[in-house]
Amino acid sequence: MIESLLIANRGEIARRIIRTAKRLGVRSIAVHSEADAGMPFVTEADEAVCVGPANPAQSYRNTEAILAAAKATGAQAIHPGYGFLSENADFARTVEANGLVWVGPGADAISAMGDKINARNLMAAAGVPVAPGTQDPAASAEAAIEAAGEIGYPVMVKAAAGGGGMGMAVANDEAGLRAEYDKVRAFAERMFGDGSVLIERYFPRVRHVEVQILGLADGRVIALSERECSVQRRNQKLVEEAPSPAVGPELRARFLAAAVKAGEAVGYRNAGTVECLLDPATGEFFFLEMNTRLQVEHPITELIHGIDLVEQQLRIASGEAPTFDVENLATTGHAIELRVNAEDPKRFLPGPGQVATWVEPTGEGVRVDSGYAAGTTVTPFYDSLMAKLIVIGADRAEAIERARAAVAGFEIAGPKNNLPFFAELLENDEFLSGDYDTGIVGRMRAGKK
């Protein structure tokens, strides 16, 4: 087992990784920006190193500073968490070139899946269902319009190098496509340094379902179970649940088989997620992307399986076998995760500020993975995620009841937060029915059922 671990991240995911490291007797090393010096993850780590000012480019994305911290502290391995450098293939290669263990998939797999067009073509070749779309980047608006004529409107305009819901737009006709193509291309060049654009069929009513995979040290790829991620704002997830209320045994088997094919196609190792779009009308699903890292929503999979995914990541990176029986995977109960963000609950605009009150809910089946505490400050430099409120019940109804009580018992004063939205969602008829899709938040805000 790895003996010392540097966590190249911050906030709740850094605390989450530190918690498992401590349980396993692994020395934890935090890196932090000047703005995060007093954060809980810094004080809870066995050792901490400041790697630069608040700007992420000068701290959490500063590869030289992070590698220098690893060398200075004698770290044996680096866990990137999610975001920041977690899907940076060059960083993964550099970590290993410096004699350190990279707790994640190989750099080649990260590269292969990082380009949406390349990933899509690889998946199609491996027999994973993909939505109708372009096999090569649309080099111009005219090329995009020609492709849309073959695919059929509406279409999704996507940044090939994008992720996390960024760099995506819908076009319903030629005029809209021309405008959105230029916007997405400019955004992609600015944000990702790559203006390549992919055109795909857009499904007006669709569910977002993903599968957790593990590429084991012995070369096998296994799929654990699926997660429902359709409660979104601006194509970014707010609520996840496992198992998906839209997936029965036959569909689940197809999802898991496709996810294993996806992982095998790139020789995947460590934790990853195969994201898909599900057409609820037909039961067809299509590959969306593969996230080559630990997902924000991994706790709900942990709860229904009784597995610590961070521990499995460390064991795989150490060349060890998993701690569970991969031939007899089973799930128990139903889990829901609510992403508690520093944002207003109506328009979901960021609302940073100093945390005056922070009281986390407790009770049976309640777990809180948090990055903040009273006296800390949510700054505008980083993602607005403050905590993940996770519940598990014997079934979906009990999980929802526990989520309601936990939301009511979570006290936050200072920064704006979206707890009132969750209270509203957990009483929404469409959500309660389980028959919802990615448009649910828009309908709630428009006052529609």
CA nearest 135: which of 149, 157, 116?
116
Residue 192's pLDDT band (cuts 50, 70, 90): confident
Q: What is the pLDDT of residue 204?
A: 84
Question: Which of 114-128, 214-228, 285-299, 325-339 is least confident?
Answer: 114-128
Which percentage of the chain shows pLDDT scores above 90? 91
Residues 424-436: tens digit of each pLDDT: 999 999 999 999 9
Q: What is the mean pLDDT of residues 262-270?
A: 98
Torsion of CA 120, 121, 124, 129, to 10 degrees: 20
Does pLDDT of 447 surpass 70? yes
Count, residues in the chain: 449
Does pLDDT of 166 surpass 90? no
Q: What is the mean pLDDT of residues 356-377?
A: 98
- Active-site entry in 207, 293, 315, 367: 293
270-284 burial, b for 16+ CB within 10 Å, e for fewer?
bbbbbbbbbebeeee
Q: What is the pLDDT of residue 342?
A: 98
Residues 14-54: tens digit of each pLDDT: 999 999 999 999 999 999 999 999 999 999 999 999 999 99
Question: Which of 71-80, 159-168, 190-199, 339-348 is least confident?
Answer: 159-168
Q: How far apart are CA 416 and CA 343, in angstroms?
A: 5
Long-range CB contacts (< 8 A, 24+ apart) of 218-224?
218/321, 219/267, 220/326, 221/260, 221/263, 221/264, 221/268, 222/260, 222/326, 222/329, 223/255, 223/256, 223/257, 223/259, 223/260, 223/263, 223/274, 224/301, 224/305, 224/307, 224/329
Q: What is the mean pLDDT of residues 353-364?
A: 98
Q: What is the mean pLDDT of residues 169-182?
A: 95
Cα within 13 Å of Cα(291), Cβ side: 22
Does pLDDT of 164 surpass 80? no
**293: annotated active-site residue:** yes
Q: How far apart are CA 160 and CA 139, in angstroms?
A: 12
Token pair listed for 375: 């006296």
Please name every residue paired with 367 in a beta bridge, in sequence order, or none if there are none: 390
